[in-house]
Chain A
Amino acid sequence: MYIEVISFGLSTALFLILGLVMLTGQRDNLPKIMLAIASLASAAWSGAVTYLAAYGNLLSSTLLLESTLLLELLRSLAWFAFLLVMLRTAFKSSDQVNKNFKITFAGLSVFVVGLMLLVLYRVSGGSFFELVAGNDVLIGHLLISIGGIVIIEQLYRNTSEDHRWALKYLWIGIGGMFAYDFYLYSDAFLFQRIDNELWNARGFIHAMVVPLIAIAIKREMQWSLGEDSIDIFLSRRIVFHTTTLLGAGTYLIFIGFGGYYVRDMGGEWGVVAQATFLFAAVMILTVLLFSSKIRARLKVAIDKHFFHYKYDYREEWLRIIRTLSSDDGASKSLHVRAIRSLAQIIDSPGGLLVMERDNGCFESDEHWNYSSMNIRESADSPFIRFLSEQQFVISLDEYNKDPDMYTRLGPLEIPDWISSNKDAWLVVPLMLQDHMLGFVVLLRSPAHERYFNWEDSDLLKTAGRQAASHLAQYDAAQALVSAKRFEEVNKLSAFIVHDVKNMVGQLSMVVSNASKHKNNPMFIDDAIITVENSVTKMNRLLVRLRGGGDSDKTHPISLCDLLEDSIRICTKAGTLPIPILNCLNQNVMVTADKDRMSANIAHIIQNAQDATDDTGSITVRLKKQGEFAIIEVEDTGEGMDESFIHDRLFQPFESTKGTMGIGVFQVREYVHKLGGQLDVESVVDKGTTFRLHVPLSKSQETTNNPHVLHLNEHELRKR
């Protein structure tokens, strides 16, 4: 009795302290409150047991005995409540989840209360141990302890890696408490009596739990910050793990068998049965261990189901995407980044990318820390066929050890250039849907022999798919660019053919007309105008042909002067209406090629003239707005509807019928190139405004600073 008093007394004191500490400070935190309640319930129960142990013999009433039994059950219920509250925070709260938790808690409550009623029913005198040892009550206790361990397992599994550091002590502590109860009651169930020593130790065991809980609380300071901040659990899936149930079930079956044999067959048979069981278990274990196939399968199964994932997939995935999509300067091309994104997953120091070419062969593309070499694999070689059909990551170690593992899936021959490289480790296919774009050969990690398993393979395969889609997208973009260039050249040449044809036509008419009219001065005048017309067209052609080239000589130009020039060009042939120039700021400088800028603006003005009746008006405005010079060409012409602006105006070389020359598309391209933009506003039958925003020259400040202005004013006053 003396040991029992000390044991449970210690437990009472520690739980009481823990419970009181938990009640201090903020109380708006549900898990904290539940922990306080559970601790105090434990303290009450322990205290009752202690009191019973110390003075039980002196008492005549069974009231205390009853309440002790009930308090134990209440304590269990309080811990369940705490664990369930913790478990609920582990999952993204949804109504369904909340509902499930409520149902679970209600079920447990009904069970515990039922057990309490059973205990009350049983209380009809007799000693404490006999009473507890009633079979049905024992089973209830057993089930409660198993339930506690199951919830602990769910909690542990659904806690993120970061928080396990802090919370593992909580799980070990509370789990230990329930595990000990399980041990105690299974033993009691087997031998139909509660073992005195085990019972006495129970107080100490429970007392040991308290410091563990305290460590957990200290490490998880967030507890005091309110429920919202309990972002302890980051589990994305609600997974029910059944390891505990399996383990507990197996243990109970063994205990049960053992117990029945011992009881029914007598001591002699008991030993025989025990030895047989043990030997059979060792035999099975040995068979399993020595069969590599079964062992490998078992390993995969155990890895998959019982151990944590080797990778933090969220992290890995973010890293893969980051490596693939960010040009960090360290690697030149996407192709190198594709190799790196795969290599870093398994700490490989380098790799070689082999891509499918237009001719159907697979040729070496880029390499990263891999001695470059020229490789060519035909698409119907067994190696390529195996990769693209099986979509398998080939581990060369595995292949060398046991080629059958691969060849039973299909014929496979590792090419010499891979097998001769001792550092080559893995071959990862890059699959785009069912088509293999290429593959990556990865080098072995020098630091340590890494164990390659299904998980590496799965991740590499998926990462390979991701890399493949990036590579395919890149290729498509490249193809699009070259197709666009082709189209541009095609359209440009069609345009040139058209214009040259027109000019040749006109000039040959001049020649044939000259044979009849060469003595007529009026014809000579007209012929000269025709020739001049052709020269203008040829000049525009030249501008167009040069267009896009970087041969521009850019220097600061005064836009006001330039606009005057452009207007002069547009009105030389007597074209109406004559644009009105309105330079709101005289001194507006931009950095551009003078001829191209002038041709572009002239083009916009000509457009306006074409669209406007001779009686209409065109206004060209120049002003400054922030960092930009704004050139506005406003006409009162017929305007354009929205669909025309949207669909046709900015189409490059929309049609080859072209006295228009360079096209609005090219004007916009040029303005973009200068860092500006081109806006169009148009109302049908009212008119159109083209607005060019061109960045001001950097030297603007020196030519237009207030100081100079001030001087000018000063000079003016002098005059």
Chain B
Amino acid sequence: MSPKILIVDDDEGMRTQLKWGLEGYEVITADSRTHAIEQFELHHPPLVTLDLGLPPDVEGTTEGFATLKAILLKAPETKVVVVSGSEDMGNAEIARSNGAFEYYPKPVDLDRLQHVIELAYADYQSGS
């Protein structure tokens, strides 16, 4: 059985294409913080990709970081890859210090993202 990954992004095109692009994973999607938490509780995925700009604060990062904290509070062993289009590289620092596994800046290159996610899964397996 392939590992589950939760993709949190408010952009529909992004969610759809990641769903098709990530091979070897069972993809679950969510478009907001509440939705993401619902999905997380339902599926307990070991892996999450998280966009920072979620509604209603699509222009900022508050919703994204709140989601990150909520997920890690429920399951600290989860590997969260923050995928953000923000130009502000300070967000990478904040993401890591809040327990994210990796910060991946947009635009997404599928092969590289796949590689990062594989590393994250390997880390998850060695930890558990």
Contacts and interface: CB of A to CB of B under 8 A. Distances in A.
B53 interface: yes
Contacts of B14: 502, 505-506
A241 interface: no
A508 B109 CA distance: 8
Contact of A502 (B18, B52, B106): B106
Interface in A478-513: 494, 498, 501-502, 504-506, 508-510, 512-513
Interface string B11-23: 1111011111101
B89 interface: no
Contacts of A554: none
A494 B88 CA distance: 12
B99 interface: no
A135 B108 CA distance: 116
B59 interface: yes
Contact of B107 (A501, A527, A530, A638): A501
B85 interface: yes
A523 B20 contact: yes
Given A508-B107, A610-B56, A659 B16 contact: no
Interface string B87-102: 1000000000000000
B13 A501 contact: no
A655 B56 CA distance: 13
Contacts of B107: 501-502, 504-505, 508
A452 B58 CA distance: 70
Nearest to A638: B56
B90 to A, nearest CB: 13
A505 B85 CA distance: 10
Given A638-B56, A660-B58, A513 B87 contact: no
Given A498-B87, A523-B20, A658 B11 contact: no
Nearest to B86: A657
B13 A637 contact: no
A509 B110 contact: yes
Contacts of B86: 657
Interface string B53-93: 10110111000000000000000000000000111000000
A660 B59 contact: yes
B12 A573 contact: yes
A533 interface: yes
B11 A502 contact: yes
A255 B58 CA distance: 99
Given A502-B11, A534-B13, A610 B85 contact: no
Contacts of B13: 506, 529-530, 533-534
A457 interface: no
Contacts of A533: 11-13
A654 interface: yes
B20 A526 contact: yes
Nearest to B108: A505
A656 interface: yes
B17 A637 contact: no
Interface string A620-647: 0000000000000000011000000000
Contacts of A498: 85, 87
A557 interface: no
Nearest to B107: A505
Interface in B4-31: 10-14, 16-21, 23
B21 A509 contact: yes
A611 interface: yes
Given A523-B20, A529-B13, A513 B110 contact: yes
Contact of A610 (B16, B55, B60, B108): B55
A657 B59 contact: yes
Contact of A494 (B11, B87, B106): B87
In the A-B complex, list the 4 residue pairs whose CB atoms are closest, starting with the nearest: A505-B107, A655-B59, A509-B17, A530-B13
Given A498-B87, A509-B20, A529-B16, 10 more contacts: A502-B11, A509-B108, A512-B111, A516-B20, A516-B23, A526-B16, A533-B13, A610-B56, A655-B60, A660-B58
Interface of B: 10-14, 16-21, 23, 52-53, 55-56, 58-60, 85-87, 106-111
